[in-house]
Amino acid sequence: MELSKVCTQTIHLVREVGMFIRKEQKKVAASDVELKSLNSLVSYVDKEAEKRLVKGLRDIVPSAGFIAEEGTGERNDNGFNWIVDPLDGTTNFLHNLPVYSVSVALHDGKNPVVAVILEVGQNELYSAYKGGGAYCNGESIRVSSNDSLSNALVATGFPYYDFEKIDEYLQLLKDCFQKTRGVRRWGSAAVDLAYVACGRFDGFFEYGLNPWDVAAGVLLVEEAGGRVSAFSKTNDPIFGREILASSSNIKEELTDLVSKHL
């Protein structure tokens, strides 16, 4: 498989779907919104965007299965899968807040090998393929060169349905407030990881995530020279529902801080 070609084709498709999302943003009414589960919203835009992505991705790699947020397509248990979030940050989208994204990754059964994230509001497209580096709108990107957690701007996501570790999480936030330059919560894990890849955030951590939230971002960070793991060495950052990403320079400090609480 020629990963550079697959990446280029995926970029074109994601841009097309991003245009559809941007056009529909002003049209969504309260009656169009469904509650899937606690604080998890979906609209016809998410569903239609996913259908368009799946249709186009089938043409790019016909043998691949799908792991998609809205359940379109079937998973391939013995090979390649597209991991798709048609609209990461749906709540932001529905409240007319600017940070929401399309996130697509091709996973070979062990690791993501192609990644495309489009931050729709700013029209910033992040892309990577295994061994090919990471890019934003065609320009090469790298993780932050900052070498101190005390100078780091760190991103996270607030629990919105899984409150099992809420007390530990609040203690971790208290520690972060005191030991970093600041903490941001954007509302789209895909964008958080893209911002780590391009050096805007020095690090990112969150628990309670799904594969479609992070798969593309994992490859972006790694190809931009960063490191990604779960909180514990035995867990998987894509399927293990917890993730920590940063530059190599602060990885140990950030890992120690997070693992002390979670």
User: Residue 126: CB partners within 8 Å, gap ≥ 6?
Assistant: 115, 116, 117, 118, 119, 134, 135, 136, 141, 194, 197, 198, 216, 220
Check residues 211 and 25 and name the one with the higher pLDDT: 211
On average, the pLDDT of the chain sits at 93
pLDDT at 27: 85
Distances (CA, A) of 114 to 2, 68, 108, 186: 10, 16, 9, 24
Q: Which two tokens stand for residue 35?
A: 């509650």
Q: List every span in the chain annotated with CATH 3.40.190.80.
A: 149-259
- List strands edge to edge, sheet with 153-156: 182-184, 153-156, 203-207, 242-247, 226-229
Terminal CA-to-CA distance of the chain, rounded, Å?
39
Q: Is 213 annotated as belonging to a binding site?
A: yes
Model confidence pLDDT, tens digit, residues 88-140: 998 899 888 889 999 999 999 999 999 999 999 999 999 999 999 999 999 99
Q: What is the CATH number of domain 149-259?
A: 3.40.190.80
Residue 233 has, within 13 A of its CA and on its CB side, a CA count of 2
Q: Is 38 annotated as belonging to a binding site?
A: no
Q: Report which of 129, 229, 243 is spatially closest to residue 190, judged by C-alpha positions.
A: 243
Between CA 145 and CA 252 the distance in angstroms is 15
Cβ(215)–Cβ(105) below 8 Å: yes
Q: List every span in the chain annotated with CATH 3.30.540.10.
A: 3-140
Between CA 78 and CA 75 the distance in angstroms is 9
Domain 3-140 CATH class label: alpha beta
Cβ(230)–Cβ(244) below 8 Å: yes
pLDDT at 160: 72
Model confidence pLDDT, tens digit, residues 162-173: 788 899 999 999
Q: Indicate yes or no: pTM above 0.85.
A: yes
pLDDT at 159: 82
Beta bridge pairs of residue 84: 68, 104
Q: Is 173 annotated as belonging to a binding site?
A: no
Model confidence pLDDT, tens digit, residues 43-86: 889 999 999 999 999 999 999 999 999 899 999 998 999 999 99
